[in-house]
Amino acid sequence: MSTLTATVEAPSSGPARPAYRVTGRRVLSSEWAKLWSLRSTWITLSLGLIFLVAFGLIAASRYKSGIGSGHLDRDFADATAVSLSLFGTNFAQLALGVLGVLVTAGEYSTGMIRSTLAAVPRRLPVLWSKAAVFGLVTLVVGTLGAFVAFLFGSGIVSGTPAAMGLTDAGVLRSLLGAALYLALVGVIGTALGALLRSVAGGISVLVAALMLIPGLVSLLPSSWQDDISPYLPSNAGESMFALTHDTTTLSPTAGLLVFLAWTALALAGAAYRLVRSDV
């Protein structure tokens, strides 16, 4: 009796897929692609740039007309080409800060954050990448807006007491300081979005920190104001790009350090919640 043995060969498979690893570069690339895929990114960045340039030119034109007519507003009495050109910083910071909140909180509102964290289980690289990508973008936008506003604004006020050039003392530092301030505001926005996980909540806290709290502090006794006001986020940030300083304001370096501390605090809170709580 013979035994017939059949040999069945397994079907040949194609080449093995390469094993993909989660790396910092790939997370950054992913966040870069997601940022530019949103229509709100293009709209809000454009608004921030327009606010920075347009309000700077409007302030310069108003100063020029006031000087020419002899009826200069008291608020513009000590104005310089730098302060006039950066007049729109307060408006641009809202647009860029709100977009920063949307970058992170928007993923929570749509549920897309689950896919993001499933792809990057360690979580924190997602936060660092979002903050780095958006901070870099806002730095570029802020730098472009500040220099464009100054170049055109200084041309408008040429021949007036406010006239200044790029080579004058403190001008470059002020323009770059304004751009860095806007970039850090954007990073704070991304941190608040990740911390609160709510678009409305993040925007509310951002507006309160930058605009409402300084107004409330102004109602305190003068001795308290002198101790508290310079260290508020908006006032510390303003000292980064102010051309002149007095005893009631911080120096540019001190203002930068204080504002960096506020930024680090917001990021630390966002990182803690991201690691400790579920989506």
Mean pLDDT of 74-94: 89
pLDDT tens, position by position, 150-187: 999 999 988 888 889 998 989 999 999 999 999 999 99
pLDDT tens, position by position, 97-121: 999 999 999 998 888 888 888 888 8
Cα separation, 49 vs 89, whole angstroms? 10
In this prediction, residue 134 carries a pLDDT of 96
Mean pLDDT of 219-228: 83
* Domain parsing of the chain, residue ranges: 44-54+90-152+167-276
pLDDT tens, position by position, 243-275: 888 878 899 999 999 999 999 999 999 999 999
In this prediction, residue 185 carries a pLDDT of 97
User: Looking at the predicted structure, is the pLDDT value of residue 133 above 90?
Assistant: yes
